[in-house]
Amino acid sequence: MATTTTVVRAAPRRLPRRQAVEATRRALTHLLLIVFCASCLVPFWWMVASSFKQDFETFMFPPTWIPLWPTLENYDKVFNSIPFWTFVVNSAKITTLAVGGELFTVSLAAFAFARLQFKGRDAIFMLLLATMMVPGAVTIVPLFVLMHQIGWINTHLPLIIPPMLGSAYGTFLLRQFMLSLPTELEDAARIDGCSSFGVYWRVSLPLMKPALATLGVFAFMGQWNSFFGPLIFLDKVELFTIQLGLALLRGRYYTSWSLLMAGSVLATIPIVVLFVFLQRYFVQGIALTGIKG
């Protein structure tokens, strides 16, 4: 007697409803992030593309996103129209000294507010944070009068010394990061006879590298792109920063926007390079500075 074998195929496994909803949510989130990032890159791409265009092509309608007749003439004109490298050196000097001094002073202040115990510490910290509510335009006139009285007008000192003294935002950022760090290493250093400054220099400062990189990127961008401060304190062309130098490319009656875009691309390169090299520390610092506080 023949026997028949019935083959039962397993039904395809269906993704649970909760996992399907989660997968859909993630897909939509990534799609929105891609659209947002693309929208942020559009102005940057337009700047780069316009730097390779001729003036008449810049105002063509419909606009061309890829230059029809690409040329490097605009970049050559930038170096021949203004002392570009002088402006770069001035900006590099101001930015390096200001950012380096700011990182040192705010890290010291953050260590004091996060680790040291002294009378009125919290009240002083709150008073420091309150200064963030004061607009910079309110202090520019008293600051200019002060710099004029001490003879610092038409020098780089007004653009270097005040930022070197620190900022409330930087102190807050590093203090929040330090509060997320364990104190065991610092306690061990004190047991070994290390002073407070020694604990800061040998233990706390190396652990603050992610937050320092984050603050360094912010401070570098602020100093490198600063226009209002140099405009107020500098009159001599040989002292101009890169941003004031780019303003010289604008004519009284006519502005070559392709030439201006080429200068802007060259001025943007240092910021992009810095972010690429510090991206890992930058993301880590942003993620960790809000853990505790």
Secondary structure letter of residue 256 according to DSSP: -
Dihedral of the alpha carbons of 15, 20, 26, 32, in degrees to the nearest 10: 130
Do residues 213 and 282 lie in contact, with contact meaning Cβ atoms separated by under 8 Å?
Answer: yes
185 pLDDT higher than 80: yes
Tell me, yes or no, whether 281 lies in a domain: no
CATH of the domain at 128: 1.10.3720.10
Q: Tell me the pTM.
A: 0.79
- DSSP class of residue 250? B
Average pLDDT, the chain: 83
Give whichever of 72-76, 101-105, 195-199 has the largest mean pLDDT. 101-105
* 283 domain residue, yes or no: no
Cα–Cα distance for residue pair 259/71, rounded to 1 Å: 11
Residue 291 banded pLDDT, cuts 50, 70, 90: very low
Instruction: Give domain status of residue 104, yes or no.
Output: yes
- For residue 4, pLDDT over 60 is answered with no
pLDDT band at 293 (very low <50, low <70, confident <90, very high): very low
Residues with Cβ within 8 Å of residue 66, at least 6 apart in sequence: 49
> 186 with 261: CB under 8 angstroms?
no
In the predicted structure, residue 13 carries a pLDDT above the cut 70: no
pLDDT of 233-266, one tens digit each?
Answer: 998 889 999 999 888 888 766 777 888 888 888 9
Number of domains the chain contains: 1
Domain membership of residue 132 (yes or no) is: yes
Residue 24 lies in a domain: no
Q: Is 139 inside a domain boundary?
A: yes
- For 192, the domain range is 93-235
| 125 within some domain | yes
pLDDT recorded at residue 9:
54
- Is 27 a member of any domain? no
- Given CA atoms 281, 274, 159, 249 in this order, what sign does their dihedral have? negative
pLDDT for 191 beyond 90 = no
Can you tell me which residue has the tokens 């705010």? Answer: 106
* Average pLDDT rounded to a whole number, residues 70-89: 88
Q: What is the pLDDT of residue 290?
A: 46
User: Which whole number is the average pLDDT over 142-167?
Assistant: 90
